[in-house]
Amino acid sequence: MTREFPKGFLWGTATAAHQVEGNNIHSDWWEWEKIPGKIKKNERSGIACDHWGRFEVDLSLMRELGVNAYRFSIEWAKIEPREGEMNDEAIRHYQNVVRLLLGAGIEPLITLHHFTSPRWWAERGLWAAPGAATAFCGYAKLVYREIAAECTRFTTVNEPLVHLGGAYVLGLTPPEKKGFLNLKAPLVGMLECHRDAYWALHADAAERGRKIDIGMAHHVRVFDPKRRWNPVDILTAGALDRAFNWTLPDALETGKLRMKIPGLVNIDLEIPGLARTQDSFGLNYYSRDLVTLGFKDGRLEPVLSPKSGRPTNDLGWELYPEGFLRSLRRVHERYPRLSVLVTENGIADHADRNRSEFIREHVDTLSAAVSEGIPVTGYLYWSLLDNFEWIEGFDPRFGLVEMDYRDLSRKPRPSFYKYRDLIRAHAPSP
Ligand code: FCB
């Protein structure tokens, strides 16, 4: 059934620089990927999809798809390969990307940091480096002034806790630190980076008489107790939900950073100037986990698993559109003043068997949310193209467009046309 989406609703797709552009040679990941055993099958991002060299091909795909928005990230390591040294070619490249998108009637939605960082910055300690906020803010201002002065929507950091959790708690991504004790310093540093960029960009925009929207893209997952009536599972799922889903957006609302998982982490502090530094809620929704408590390396820790008997994507993540509605409702209840932009939602589906249905169900869910009065402003499918899925390498296929990595040719999948039709059906009547 076709319900009305608000006027100006954004229909689009999302990508991230490191996953599609190729040759991110000055980034922390580039070096790290060379170490055997880090990425599945020892794959490396390499030329990826050569989105850098073939942007115009991908732009024509977007036009064919009929989107009016494209979320992508700018790669700091390309803009500033060495500290203080800006790369004109990279700046020109992104200027061109923005110009071409605007010319095609596609709104550029810009992410400043999507998991990867310049190596020089990483070597100094990433978000916890001395002067981190000054460096990040300098980069953010440069992007705004030189590349994106015509753009309106910005994400400072993509999935802050997925990024920091992988890098500082689970030790799966660079700099591979393990244990909750490592989390506090980079977390605080990241929030200071965000805060300074938020105020600086707003000041710049105001000087130009423009109004912009800045936030983060938060990964919200549903955590349900594995055994519905088991108090330990209920408490653990609740603690994980509070820590993973709400620590960051709460901090951006209240200025208070509070994260507590008994026995694992206890952070409670105030960051001056951080309150009310998100103008909308960027929501990445993928799946749900069932939660129980179990022993891992001799200590009790939350253990996650998909619900058995339910359909999953190629990575084993449960397909759970109801969780999308649950998440949208919770975001709205918690932050009633914020509109919600779905910055990512997608499925790894090599055979393209479930993707069309996945999108349809999630868009239906979204329209249910809209009719409940939840102010949703857009939906961005992850992803336009198959791409380099971090430690999983190139195997997972999230794309509406299939990549043949041998010759970098692109082929829209059947779901590409289904999404195109769906966008057309939902387009507001003129
Ligand atoms: C999200 C990331 C994105 C991509 C998708 C599948 O967590 O933001 O880069 O890896 O998952």
Cα 220 to ligand 1 centroid, rounded to whole Å: 12
Query: Ligand 1 pocket, 397 CB below 6 A?
Result: no
In angstroms, rounded to a whole number, what is the distance separating the alpha carbons of residues 61 and 120?
35
Query: Ligand 1 pocket, 279 CB below 6 A?
Result: no
Residue 1 pLDDT grade (very low, low, confident, very high; cuts 50, 70, 90)? very low
Which residue of the set 80, 159, 318, 389 is catalytic? Answer: 159
**How far is CA 56 from its chain centroid?**
23
**How far is CA 168 from its chain centroid?**
18
Domains and CATH numbers, the chain: 10-220+314-426 (3.20.20.80)
Q: Does position 4 have pLDDT exceeding 90, yes or no?
A: no
Residue 262 pLDDT grade (very low, low, confident, very high; cuts 50, 70, 90)? confident
pLDDT of residue 196: 98
Query: Ligand 1 pocket, 50 CB below 6 A?
Result: no
Query: Ligand 1 pocket, 58 CB below 6 A?
Result: no
Query: Ligand 1 pocket, 111 CB below 6 A?
Result: no
In angstroms, rounded to a whole number, what is the distance separating the alpha carbons of residues 109 and 381?
13
239 within 8 A of 246, measured Cβ to Cβ: no
Cα 399 to ligand 1 centroid, rounded to whole Å: 12
Q: What is the 3-state secondary structure (H, E, C) of 360-381?
A: HHHHHHHHHHHHCCCCEEEEEE
Over residues 71-92, mean pLDDT: 98
Query: Ligand 1 pocket, 113 CB below 6 A?
Result: no
Reply yes or no on whether 159 is catalytic. yes
Over residues 87-95, mean pLDDT: 98
What is the tens place of the pLDDT at every residue in 263-303?
Answer: 889 999 999 999 999 999 999 999 999 999 998 878 888 99
Q: Does position 257 have pLDDT exceeding 90, yes or no?
A: yes
pLDDT of residue 427: 74
9: which DSSP letter?
Answer: -
Q: Which residue has the higher pLDDT, 7 or 430?
A: 7
Over residues 116-121, mean pLDDT: 98
Angle between helices 132-142 and 184-207 (to 10 degrees): 30
Over residues 97-106, mean pLDDT: 98
Q: Does position 310 have pLDDT exceeding 90, yes or no?
A: yes
The verdict on whether omega for the bond into residue 383 sits within 30 degrees of 0, i.e. cis, is yes
CA-162 nearest atom, ligand 1? 7
pLDDT of residue 3: 57
Q: Does position 2 have pLDDT exceeding 90, yes or no?
A: no
Q: Which residue has the higher pLDDT, 261 or 339?
A: 339
* Residue 34, CA distances (Å) to 51, 79, 197 in order: 21, 22, 32
What is the tens place of the pLDDT at every residue in 157-194?
Answer: 999 999 999 999 999 999 999 999 999 999 999 999 99
Q: What is the mean pLDDT of the chain?
A: 97
Pocket of ligand 1, candidates 24, 390, 391, 395: which has the most ligand atoms within 8 Å of its Cβ, to mutate?
A: 390
Return the amino acid letter for 297: D
Over residues 214-225, mean pLDDT: 98
Q: Does position 418 have pLDDT exceeding 90, yes or no?
A: yes
Over residues 1-29, mean pLDDT: 92
**How far is CA 44 from its chain centroid?**
21
Predicted TM-score (pTM) of the model is 0.97
- Please give the share of the chain, as a percent, with pLDDT higher than 90: 95
Q: Does position 428 have pLDDT exceeding 80, yes or no?
A: no
Q: Which residue has the higher pLDDT, 59 or 262?
A: 59
The terminus-to-terminus CA distance of the chain in angstroms comes to: 19
What is the tens place of the pLDDT at every residue in 131-153?
Answer: 999 999 999 999 999 999 999 99
Q: Does position 90 have pLDDT exceeding 60, yes or no?
A: yes
CA-16 nearest atom, ligand 1? 9
**How far is CA 141 from its chain centroid?**
21
What is the tens place of the pLDDT at every residue in 197-210?
Answer: 999 999 999 999 99
The verdict on whether omega for the bond into residue 311 sits within 30 degrees of 0, i.e. cis, is no
Return the half-sphere exposure (C-beta side, CA atoms, 13 A cut-off) of residue 324.
Answer: 29
